[in-house]
């Protein structure tokens, strides 16, 4: 095989230190670990997938290449932006605008001889089950909750007699981050822990419209109210400087009218793009931890993380390593529906609004059904039209206590199931 040929042309000294770990048993090594050539060969032949070639992804690709992995795929649909360069170290100013996956793969292959990295400049949803089945491990360095839920559910759905693909997931925000190992259906999955995300608190529309107090209120007013009013159907492009400048100017004028200090261009960008601070050091820590787990899982040279490490670096250096429990009523890996209490007097429309406030039900285009009827369907068009009047109806007209409510969304490869109870 090509990969093995490449390996043999390398100096045997190159992987001396990695080989020390693979050819010697450690005091904590699992009984099944057989030191010697086998883990080395296994590592070289194993196919591993990296999702995301951004801050974490660049680190992950470098780390896997220097951990002896030889056959790596990487998927990322993004292109390189100037604000990536403070941490995404495989990119240079001349690369701005190019595909992250392609530039990152080419760089690591050039630097580390013998590694093959296959890039895909596309969305993860563009690949099918057959594609994902070929991998032994998936390492995920994404900043999107939606994409993580998708890959998590996909890997859980793939579990079968011969398939169980561990998902190693990393995430960062400023000085904080986490690394975790998910063994689909065996240990707690991404969906099981969604309630750890902080629910987003939306500013009431009336505050934006009539009583702004904070600079962020003025910025949101500009993007949520004023843009559609003045620009009609034109969509805001957060990366278009003209659009950002327009919003900034409007927000600034509104702030002046209400004597609100503090609207800046950077804050405008931060609010409308929901920018999360990101630095090289935290990415390095979290990505390294993820790849350390990948190496341990691939070779069984040492026990792997079971199953969650939280990291905080703003005050001293702190980690909390623990076993997060699997949720019996997890909509992805569990088999029980969750409980949902609703006000029977409220309208379906209000229920849909309420669902948006919970992290596990924040969906782009949710469709709602009970076991007996469709309550609201987003597509196709004729069904949307037919179910639209239901939005105005009270819940007690549409469902009964004990009914199972099922929510689907084109972005999610699974349904959320709830057993309805009425609040008194």
Partner 1 sequence: MSVPGAPTAKEKKYDRQLRLWGAGGQEALETAHILLINATAAGSETLKNLVLPGIGRFTIIDHAVVTDEDLGTNFFLDDSSIGLSRAQKTCELLCELNPEVQGHFINDTIENILRSNPEKLKDFTTVVATGDIPTATLLSLDAILYPLGIPLFVVKCVGFTMSCRLALSEHPIVETHPASTVDLRLFNPFPELSTLVDEKAASMDDKEKMTTHEHDHLPYVLILLQALNEWKSTHGNQPPSSYPQKNEFKSLLRSKMWNADEENFEEAIAAVLPHFNPPSIPSETRAIFQDEKCANLTKESTKFWIIARAIKEFSEKNGGLLPLPGALPDMKAESKDYIRLQNIYKTKARADLAVVFGIVRGLLTGLGRDGGEVEESEVETFCKHAGYVKLIRGRSLNEEYEKSPRAQVISNDLSDSTSLIHYYLGLRAYEAFISDENNTQRIAPGAEDSTVDADTEKLNKHVTELLDKLSITHSPELLEGTEKAIGEIVRAGGGELHNIASLTGGVAAQEIIKIITRQYIPMDNTVLFDGISSRTFVYKL
Pick what 82 binds: Zn ion, partner 1, none; C-beta below 5 to 8 Å, kind-dependent: partner 1
What would the x/- binding string for partner 1 be over residues 159 to 198, using CB under 8 A? ---------------xx---x-------------------
Measured from the CB of residue 360, what is the shortest distance to partner 1 in angstroms? 25
Segment holding 246, helix H or strand E: helix 241-257
Pick what 288 binds: Zn ion, partner 1, none; C-beta below 5 to 8 Å, kind-dependent: partner 1
Identify whether the C-beta of residue 411 lies closer than 8 Å to the C-beta of residue 146: yes
Closest CB to Zn ion among 395 and 416? 416
Identify whether the C-beta of residue 44 lies closer than 8 Å to the C-beta of residue 4: yes
Answer yes or no: 140 catalytic. no
Q: Is 248 helix (H, G, I), strand (E, B) or coil?
A: helix
Closest CB to partner 1 among 54 and 331? 54
Measured from the CB of residue 290, what is the shortest distance to partner 1 in angstroms? 9
Considering only residues 303 to 342 of the shown chain, the ones binding partner 1 according to CB under 8 A are: 303, 305, 309, 313-319, 321
Closest CB to partner 1 among 168 and 348? 168
Measured from the CB of residue 109, what is the shortest distance to Zn ion in angstroms? 36
Q: Cα separation of 403 and 339, whole Å?
A: 11
- CA-CA-CA-CA torsion sign (76, 409, 384, 201): negative
Considering only residues 34 to 63 of the shown chain, the ones binding partner 1 according to CB under 8 A are: 59, 62-63
Closest among 383, 343, 379 to 364, alpha carbons compared: 379
Closest among 305, 398, 396 to 344, alpha carbons compared: 396
Q: Cα separation of 291 and 68, whole Å?
A: 11
Q: Which residue has the tokens 């993860």?
A: 124
Q: Residue 324 burial by CB count (10 A; 0-12/13-18/19+): exposed, middle or buried?
A: middle
Measured from the CB of residue 368, what is the shortest distance to partner 1 in angstroms? 27
* Cβ-proximal residues to 197 (8 Å cutoff; 6+ apart), any chain: 145, 359
Identify whether the C-beta of residue 167 lies closer than 8 Å to the C-beta of residue 140: yes
Q: Does 21 bind partner 1 (CB under 8 A)?
A: yes
Pick what 333 binds: partner 1, Zn ion, none; C-beta below 5 to 8 Å, kind-dependent: Zn ion
Exactly one of 206, 290, 291, 333 is catalytic; which is it? Answer: 206
Looking at residue 186, what DSSP letter applies? T
Closest CB to Zn ion among 191 and 409? 191
How remote is the C-alpha of 171 from its chain's centroid?
A: 8
Q: Does 11 bind partner 1 (CB under 8 A)?
A: yes
Closest CB to partner 1 among 192 and 294? 294
Q: Which of 13, 31, 162, 233 binds partner 1 (CB under 8 A)?
A: 13
Measured from the CB of residue 25, what is the shortest distance to partner 1 in angstroms? 8
Q: What are phi and psi of 376, to 5 degrees?
A: -150, 125
Q: List residues binding Zn ion (CB under 5 A).
A: 189, 191-192, 330, 332-333
Considering only residues 89 to 108 of the shown chain, the ones binding partner 1 according to CB under 8 A are: 89, 92-93
**Which residues are known to be catalytic?**
206
């Amino acid at each position: 095989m090509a990969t093995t040929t490449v390996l043999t042309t390398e100096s045997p000294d190159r992987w001396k230190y990695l080989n020390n770990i693979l050819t010697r048993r450690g005091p904590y090594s699992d009984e099944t670990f057989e030191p010697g050539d086998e883990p080395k060969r296994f590592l070289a032949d194993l196919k591993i997938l990296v999702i995301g070639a951004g801050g974490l992804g660049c680190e992950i690709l470098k780390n896997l290449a220097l951990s002896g992995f030889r056959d790596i795929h990487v998927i990322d649909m993004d292109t390189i932006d100037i604000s990536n360069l403070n941490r995404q170290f495989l990119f240079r100013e001349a690369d701005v605008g190019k595909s992250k996956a392609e530039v990152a793969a080419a760089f690591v292959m050039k630097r580390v001889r013998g590694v093959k990295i296959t890039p895909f400049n596309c969305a993860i949803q563009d690949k099918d089950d057959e594609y994902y089945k070929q991998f032994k491990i998936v390492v995920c360095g994404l900043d999107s909750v939606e994409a993580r839920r998708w890959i998590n559910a996909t890997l859980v759905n793939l579990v079968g007699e011969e398939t169980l693909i561990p998902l190693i997931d990393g995430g960062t925000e400023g000085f904080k981050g986490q690394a975790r190992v998910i063994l689909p259906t065996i240990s707690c999955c991404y969906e099981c822990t969604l309630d750890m995300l902080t629910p987003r608190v939306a500013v009431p529309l009336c505050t934006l419209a009539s009583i702004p107090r904070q600079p962020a209120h003025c910025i949101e007013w500009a993007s949520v109210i004023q843009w559609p009013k003045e620009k009609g159907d034109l969509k805001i492009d957060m990366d278009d400087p003209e659009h950002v400048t327009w919003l900034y100017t409007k927000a600034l004028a509104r702030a002046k009218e209400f004597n609100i200090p503090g609207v800046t261009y950077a804050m405008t960008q931060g609010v409308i793009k929901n920018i999360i601070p990101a630095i090289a050091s935290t990415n390095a820590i979290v990505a390294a931890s993820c790849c350390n787990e990948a190496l341990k899982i691939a070779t069984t040279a040492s026990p792997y993380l079971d199953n969650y490490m939280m990291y905080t670096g703003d005050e001293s250096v702190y980690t909390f390593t623990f076993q997060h429990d699997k949720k019996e009523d997890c909509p992805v890996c569990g088999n029980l529906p969750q409980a949902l209490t609703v006000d029977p007097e409220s309208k379906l429309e209000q229920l849909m609004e309420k669902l948006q406030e919970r992290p596990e039900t924040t969906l782009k285009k949710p469709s709602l059904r009970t076991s007996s009827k469709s309550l609201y369907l987003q597509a196709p068009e004729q069904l949307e039209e037919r179910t639209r009047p239901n939005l105005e109806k009270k819940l007690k007209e549409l469902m009964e206590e004990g009914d199972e409510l099922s929510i689907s969304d084109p972005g999610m490869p699974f349904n959320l199931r709830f057993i309805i109870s009425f609040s008194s």
